[in-house]
């Protein structure tokens, strides 16, 4: 067995006793197998949304740090019948780099040459007027964004009110998936119909208006997210969390900026506006020793007796394995269920939005110091493809609380493709449908893209392929963190059986630190498979 196929894990138990456990790639493959199966399951839903079969996929691209785990490539091959390609360079910066590239394109390309965004989830409305209840599809999942649709809905004679509720739908069917916010529209006795108008922005912010055309003053407005913050509320949250309101003092324009707000780490990359300018990364001056210099660990620690929390630094990361700090330190919060996440620290109610804002504020403050001569206001921020409308809204608000005035969202697998195509020539005469499989630290995303051959463009800059996103899905609760937990459970059991000892918190901490070493050593070698 080669060195790449086996790893001996060693550490001291104390009192002169040393411990060691052999761990092989075969064991890692066996542990990872069920988790990879969960990760690739959303491919079927993405294909269905795109109205494609697996045979229609011409190119498969793997992105995300967890895509290098052994077995991922093989399972994708078994699933789709084609060997996937992996992003060859700067894998951990691929998503943020793609976000940077999209902002540069948005600024440089004319409107008719820009990639098309689409609604990821079908939207409908449930109307209840007395004894009748009906559901109507308003916007299907493949509609281009931004989108506005208006419909006329019948009302039973004599009804005095109508209950209106936003609904997410399954595909293009009149089958409800999730019920969102509800409002009541007061009706006059002569009302026979109401008008419903739904609007979805490029950032997936939804608004539904409904009114009686005979009595337009009786209008109701329904937001998808009832917990949306006002400007005043944002300011209050900012003060509560100790986020300093920084204003750029520079007079120049700004570079193109992309931010990958990740489950485990967050990265910022930037580029000049000129097409062809190199992508560079922002260094974290407080990056922990075990992290890359460009990594901002997505960790927040409310240290006791300290007004401002520790964020994305050594102190915050060390607190993760400090038993006395467990109720004051937070990580992996990006994938938490926002509706059930209720944490209190020093009489402060802490939300996922707050934690995201603190990480983004640390990154943005660092960027402002790095680009003191610029007037920083805009950034493209990445989100999982499966993020719902509430989660997108919260991400935008977190970025705004952090000081980013102009926020654009991009799905993580779409950003990964932006970077891939910047590094590889793609023959659009041979490749039409691309599937991006983004297996990250906390989430898995799938995006299917339809490439548009733009070879007849008059301007040479626009001869490269553009694309439409035609199908997205994912698993927001499956990623590298699940692999880490499975490896830890396996090793802990092996160690305790071999040495007849229960691991103390100190040795649990030591074992957890070994997990990344295990994955890196026994994972796939970097390949240039172009």
Question: Where exactly are the structural domains of the chain?
Answer: 22-86+425-525, 118-223, 231-377+386-410
| 341-369 burial code (b ≥16 CB/10 A, e <16) | eebebeeeebbbbbbbbbbbbbbbbbbbe
Taking Cα atoms as reference points, which of 126, 161, 9 lies closest to residue 522?
9
| Contacts of 485-488 spanning 24+ positions with Cβ under 8 A | 486/31, 486/32, 486/35, 487/28, 487/31, 487/515, 487/518, 487/519, 488/512, 488/515
pLDDT of residue 251: 62
How far apart, in whole angstroms, are the C-alpha atoms of residue 464 and residue 426? 8
Distances (CA, A) of 359 to 263, 266, 311, 407: 11, 8, 6, 15
Residue 466 DSSP one-character state: E
> DSSP 3-state assignment of 162?
strand
Distance CA 4, CA 25 (A): 8
pLDDT value at position 22? 85
Distance separating alpha carbons of residues 364 and 386, to the nearest angstrom = 25
Contact between residue 230 and residue 393 where contact means Cβ atoms under 8 Å apart: no
By three-state DSSP, how is residue 8 classified? strand
Q: How far apart are CA 509 and CA 318, in angstroms?
A: 10
- Taking the CB of residue 321, how many other CB atoms lie within 10 A of it? 16
- Tell me which residue of 91, 64, 41, 62 sits closest to 440, measured CA to CA: 64
The predicted structure's pLDDT at residue 526: 44
Task: Tell me the CB-side half-sphere exposure of residue 507, using CA atoms within 13 A.
Answer: 19
Determine the pLDDT at residue 41: 95
Q: Which of 65, 393, 359 is nearest to 227 (CA)?
A: 393
- Give the predicted TM-score (pTM) of the model: 0.79
CA angle 113, 258, 467 (to 5 degrees): 25
**What pLDDT, on a 0 to 100 scale, did the predictor assign at position 153?**
85
What's the pLDDT at 162?
Answer: 83
Q: Which CATH class for the 231-377+386-410 domain?
A: alpha beta
User: What is the pLDDT, as a whole number, of residue 217?
Assistant: 79
Contacts of 10 (CB under 8 A, 6+ apart): 18, 19, 20
**Residue stretches of the chain with pLDDT short of 70:** 1-4, 11-16, 88-89, 106-120, 130-131, 142, 171-174, 223-227, 246-251, 274-276, 452-466, 506, 524-530
- pLDDT tens-digit map of 438-458: 998 888 999 898 886 554 444
CA dihedral 380, 383, 387, 392 (to 10 degrees): -30
CATH architecture label of 118-223: Sandwich (2.60)
Instruction: Give the separation between CA 126 and CA 181, rounded to whole angstroms.
Output: 10
DSSP tag of 461: G
pLDDT score for 310? 96
CA dihedral 514, 516, 517, 523 (to 10 degrees): 140
């Amino acid at each position: 067995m080669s060195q790449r196929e086996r790893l001996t894990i060693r550490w001291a138990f104390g009192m002169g006793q040393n411990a060691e456990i052999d761990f092989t790639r075969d064991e890692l493959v066996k542990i990872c197998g069920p988790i990879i199966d969960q990760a690739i399951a959303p491919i079927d839903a993405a294909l269905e949304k795109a109205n494609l079969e697996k045979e229609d996929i011409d190119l498969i691209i793997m992105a995300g740090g967890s895509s290098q785990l052994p077995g991922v490539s093989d399972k994708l091959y078994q699933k789709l019948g084609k060997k996937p390609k992996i992003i060859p360079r700067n894998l951990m910066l691929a998503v943020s780099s793609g976000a940077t590239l999209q902002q540069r394109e948005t600024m440089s390309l004319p409107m008719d040459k820009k990639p098309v965004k689409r609604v990821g989830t079908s939207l409908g409305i449930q109307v209840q007027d007395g004894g009748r209840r009906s559901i109507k599809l308003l916007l299907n999942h493949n509609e281009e964004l931004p989108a506005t649709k208006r419909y006329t809905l019948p009302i039973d004679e004599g009804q005095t009110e109508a209950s209106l509720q936003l609904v997410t739908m399954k595909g293009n069917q009149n089958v409800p998936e999730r019920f969102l916010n509800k409002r009541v529209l007061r009706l006059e006795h002569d009302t026979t119909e109401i008008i419903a108008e739904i609007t979805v922005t490029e950032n997936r912010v939804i608004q539904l208006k409904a009114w009686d055309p005979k009595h337009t003053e009786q209008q109701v407005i329904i937001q998808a997210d009832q917990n949306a913050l006002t400007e005043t509320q944002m300011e209050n949250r900012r003060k509560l969390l100790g986020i300093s309101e920084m204003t750029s003092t520079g007079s120049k324009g700004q570079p193109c900026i992309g931010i990958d707000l990740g489950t485990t780490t967050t990265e910022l990359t930037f580029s000049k506006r000129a097409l062809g300018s190199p992508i560079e990364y922002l260094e974290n001056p407080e990056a922990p020793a075990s992290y890359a210099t460009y990594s901002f660990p997505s960790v927040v620690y409310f240290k006791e007796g300290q007004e401002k929390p520790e964020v994305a630094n050594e102190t915050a990361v060390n607190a993760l394995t400090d038993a006395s700090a467990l109720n004051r330190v937070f990580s992996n919060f990006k994938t938490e269920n926002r509706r059930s996440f209720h944490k209190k620290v020093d009489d402060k109610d802490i939300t996922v939005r707050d934690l995201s804002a603190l990480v983004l504020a640390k990154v943005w403050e660092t960027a402002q110091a790095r680009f003191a001569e610029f007037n920083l206001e805009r950034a493209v921020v990445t989100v999982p493809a499966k993020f719902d409308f509430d989660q997108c809204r919260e991400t935008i608000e977190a970025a705004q609380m952090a000081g980013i005035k102009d926020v654009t969202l991009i799905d993580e697998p779409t950003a990964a493709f932006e970077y891939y195509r910047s590094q590889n020539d793609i023959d659009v005469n041979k490749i039409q449908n691309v599937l991006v499989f983004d297996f990250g630290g906390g989430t898995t995303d799938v995006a299917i893209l339809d490439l548009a051959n733009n070879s007849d463009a008059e301007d040479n800059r626009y001869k490269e392929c553009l694309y439409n996103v035609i199908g997205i899905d994912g698993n927001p609760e499956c990623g590298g963190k699940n692999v880490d937990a499975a490896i830890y459970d396996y090793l802990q059991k092996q160690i305790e059986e071999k040495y007849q000892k229960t691991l103390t918190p100190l040795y649990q901490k030591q074992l957890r630190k070994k997990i990344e070493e295990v994955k890196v050593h026994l994972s796939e070698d970097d390949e240039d498979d172009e």
